[in-house]
Amino acid sequence: MAQKKSFSGRGMGIDLGTANTLVYVKGEGIVLNEPSVVAVNAVDGEVVSVGRDAKRTIGRTPSHIVALRPMRDGVIADFDMAERMLAYFVRKVAGTRRFNRPTVVICVPSGITGVERRAVVEAAMGAGARQVHLIEEPMAAAIGAGLPVNEPTGSMVVDIGGGTTEVAVVSMGGVVAARSVRTAGDAIDAAIVSHVKREHCLLIGERTAEELKATIGSASPVGYWSDELRRLDREIERDSAAEAGAGSAGEDAVRVRLDDTDTDAGTGTDSGSDGGIEGITQSLLPPDRCRIRGRDQVSGLPKTLDIGADELRQAIAEPVDAIVHAVRHTLDTCPPELAGDIMERGVVLTGGGALLRGLDVRLRQELDVPVLVAAEPLHCVAVGAGKCVEEYGTYRPVLEAQPHRLAAARLG
Ligand SMILES: Nc1ncnc2c1ncn2[C@@H]1O[C@H](COP(=O)(O)OP(=O)(O)OP(=O)(O)O)[C@@H](O)[C@H]1O
Ligand SMILES: [Mg+2]
């Protein structure tokens, strides 16, 4: 059977993510990490650029060039474009390495349907893979985060990507309990866009929203900055005010310029809005307010708006609550012995969404379990897929436990 073969030669592990695609090459590690974006000429359907180049051109191209994200909600939304994107990345990686139709371990969200699974396998085969193994994303994330997936002990991983949040309890090489919700980073960005539009009549793009989230977004006020950091900061401010004499310190906000363009990485639907953000801080701490630029919904003219961390936290409460709920539900439905292991060992957060400030604190408070953020949350899934290629003997049972029958059938 195809899946019993060893990984002779050079295999690849691929994290085909909604936001980012990462490729791990056996013996080398992560060699490619690019946005999952394709720029296409709408007139002749030709692909103009892929990945980082495509993301850079968004909003700066003539109107006939459209930037697409072929992956949406964690699954393939535009099959043709996904296949072309994957083929481009595989070619880019293989080109200098004399790969000949590599064996590929590719990650898929745990909740996808058979049809969606087939689409991923076909895209990988179309991109030149000789053999394709599918691995569920949370399992790859758990392996990549260094959890003991093969041991008879329960480990819980929560992978918060762009399109999906995957919660899973793994034990003895398999997924024991899992939940996949299509609420993750993109939903948080969308909540910011609609809040700013509804409350301030300001149109901003998804990329401005995403930068705002990464700069001052938070899931809990406690986790935003530690009390100790605030205290130190107040001391520094007091000292410098004393040195400088009364008056000037703190009067003028220091503005950290973060970006001057607004683009929409996703649909290009609001590419006309001027955008960008500046973080505003009066101290050495990271900003807790941002100045955003967008387009006034009524006048159509460019407009700026200052927005604070507290307001933003309220704006993203709904999707954040949905993520917390998914974790709680999985814990609630988990067999008692494994729940005991998790209480003891904690929950590990992976994926870019794990970087949202205070999310770990919020989960810890609400669920009363220890919560840790993985060391390189954005890399865990690709590293996990890569480890399956590197240490095939160790992870073979894991790959064989995956619903891979479709791939095996295709490979005869
Ligand atoms: N500092 C940050 N704070 C909050 N969110 C962040 C931060 N950095 C990145 N993100 C978010 O992480 C998400 C991307 O994470 P990741 O690369 O793990 O997703 P993906 O694997 O492409 O998506 P999926 O797993 O759903 O297919 C984006 O929504 C991005 O906005
Ligand atoms: Mg992911």
Query: Over the stretch 104-146, which tens digit does the pLDDT of each residue have?
Result: 999 987 777 888 888 888 888 888 888 899 999 999 999 999 9
Domain extent listing, the chain: 2-145+378-411
Q: Which band of pLDDT confidence, cut at 50, 70 and 90, is reported for residue 6? A: very low
Report whether 130 contacts 407 (CB < 8 A).
no
Dump pLDDT digits (tens) for 278-329. 766 555 566 788 899 999 999 999 999 999 999 999 999 999 999 999 999 9
The pLDDT, as a whole number, for residue 10 is: 73
Give the global pTM: 0.84
Q: Is the CB of 290 under 6 A from ligand 1?
A: no
Report whether 335 contacts 343 (CB < 8 A).
no
232 residue type, one letter: L
Is 74 annotated in a binding site? The answer is no
Question: What's the mean pLDDT when you consider all of the chain?
Answer: 82
Q: Is the CB of 111 under 6 A from ligand 1?
A: no
The pLDDT, as a whole number, for residue 254 is: 38
Q: Is the CB of 207 under 6 A from ligand 1?
A: no
Is 213 annotated in a binding site? The answer is yes
Q: Is the CB of 287 under 6 A from ligand 1?
A: no
State both tokens at 179. Answer: 């939940």
Is 4 annotated in a binding site? The answer is no
| Range of weakest confidence among 25-34, 283-292, 396-405 | 396-405
Instruction: With a cut of 50, say whether residue 262 has pLDDT above it.
Output: no
Instruction: With a cut of 60, say whether residue 412 has pLDDT above it.
Output: no
> Residue whose CA is closest, atom 24 of ligand 1?
161
C-alpha 191/C-alpha 197 separation (Å) is 10
The pLDDT, as a whole number, for residue 64 is: 83
Report whether 271 contacts 205 (CB < 8 A).
yes
Is 229 annotated in a binding site? The answer is no
> Which phi and psi (to 5°) does residue 195 adopt?
-65, -45
Task: Summarize the confidence of residues 188-207 as an average pLDDT.
Answer: 95
If one counts every other C-beta atom within 10 angstroms of the C-beta of residue 130, the result is: 17
**Range 2-145+378-411 has CATH code 3.30.420.40:** yes
Q: Is the CB of 144 under 6 A from ligand 1?
A: no
Task: Summarize the confidence of residues 336-364 as an average pLDDT.
Answer: 94
- Express as a percent the part of the chain with pLDDT over 90: 53
CA of 352 to the centre of ligand 1 (A): 3
Residue to mutate (ligand 1; options 15, 157, 181, 213; most atoms within 8 A of CB): 213
CA of 67 to the centre of ligand 2 (A): 20
The pLDDT, as a whole number, for residue 114 is: 83
> Residue whose CA is closest, atom 29 of ligand 1?
185
> Residue whose CA is closest, atom 21 of ligand 1?
17
Q: Where are the beta strands (DSSP E) in 273-360?
A: 276-281, 289-296, 302-308, 347-350
Task: Summarize the confidence of residues 164-193 as an average pLDDT.
Answer: 94
If one counts every other C-beta atom within 10 angstroms of the C-beta of residue 250, the result is: 12
Sequence-distant (≥ 6) Cβ neighbours of residue 74 within 8 angstroms: 17, 18, 109, 112, 137, 161, 162, 163, 164, 180, 182, 184
Is 162 annotated in a binding site? The answer is yes
Report whether 33 contacts 19 (CB < 8 A).
no
